[in-house]
Homo-oligomer: A and B are copies of this chain.
């Protein structure tokens, strides 16, 4: 009996659209899924650019109005990849139309929006997921498994930095990502959101935070006319310290001003029995210090997380040990799990609730930075 088919509607066709298109295409080729997938409709506002993307990424149809995609009775899943200020309206409409929803992070611009979205998907009883794809880096999933098995004992420290350097040049234009009304925030919502999610995934819920945000270069040339200058209204870098509800200490820093760092996510977690260290630029490796090993042989083990199925998560579906995978595979893993979740009718982590909680932490840090005081995370 052939598998049932899920028809996908993808809203947005740029960086994330490319990554998600690839994932929808690749997931069924490498994972044994409960449903077939059809790349049904891709949606964007610029029709000529959209058509190029449709052909390049392999979608059957193109559509310039997202309402029509959401309204299309053939579509089963809406995958939202648009700028952050449009997530909420699309997701709510999609849920109302009975579509399952996958949404890029951050879930929305603020907690209020997130709550509406969560309410909508719950009411509609659709499957929902926020695309915090880094949870499904095999090394991160392996870390999660090991923490669950008690390999780290009681956790004391979550120490992480997400460092990029692409804004160092003052001539880099004032993109939409640098405007508060479109992006919500800068490094904070874009990349701090990732390490906040990893913190919640691996360590637990935040209790209290204290942060500061900084904009190093406040005016930049406009992308459409470099002779004109526009205001940068988001943070170039955000840092915060804090505590988790389980007593562990948190230290997070996100910056776009770390010269030489391309997409560097460094993370160290220290527990009473062991520690792990991870660096996204070496994403196939997990460093693990096991305090139970004989004294003279202790050291951070450099685990190349590429072993077969049943040993390491996800990666056995790809290639033999030692043959590494890359960035895009984290989307494939996410979407493979989402497809099966839709088939089972049960949402899988990270859900919109995770998106909401992530947003609550983001807001607490922002509020803390504005008021210059400690803020409880609700």
Interface residues of A, Cβ cutoff 8 Å to B: 15, 19, 21-22, 25-26, 29, 56-58, 142, 145-146, 151, 156-157, 159, 161, 163-166, 168, 210-212, 214, 216, 237, 239-241, 243, 247, 249, 251, 253, 255, 257-264, 268, 270-275, 280-291, 293, 295-304, 306-307, 311-312, 318-329, 372-374
Contact = CB atoms under 8 A, between A and B. Distances in A.
7 contacts: A22-B29, A26-B26, A156-B237, A262-B306, A286-B299, A297-B301, A319-B328
A9 to B, nearest CB: 19
B19 A319 contact: yes
Contacts of A56: 29
A293 B288 CA distance: 12
A301 B298 contact: yes
A49 to B, nearest CB: 15
Contacts of A58: 29
Contacts of A247: 216
Nearest to A374: B372
Contacts of A373: 372-374
Which secondary structure dominates where chain A touches chain B? mixed
A291 B145 CA distance: 21
A151 to B, nearest CB: 8
Nearest to A306: B262
A170 B310 CA distance: 22
A323 B327 contact: yes
A263 B324 CA distance: 9
A15 B320 CA distance: 9
Given A287-B299, A319-B327, 14 more contacts: A15-B319, A22-B29, A25-B29, A157-B255, A168-B272, A241-B241, A259-B274, A259-B291, A260-B300, A288-B299, A298-B301, A300-B301, A300-B302, A319-B326
Contacts of A142: 296
Given A156-B216, A303-B298, A307-B296, A321 B263 contact: yes
Nearest to A22: B29
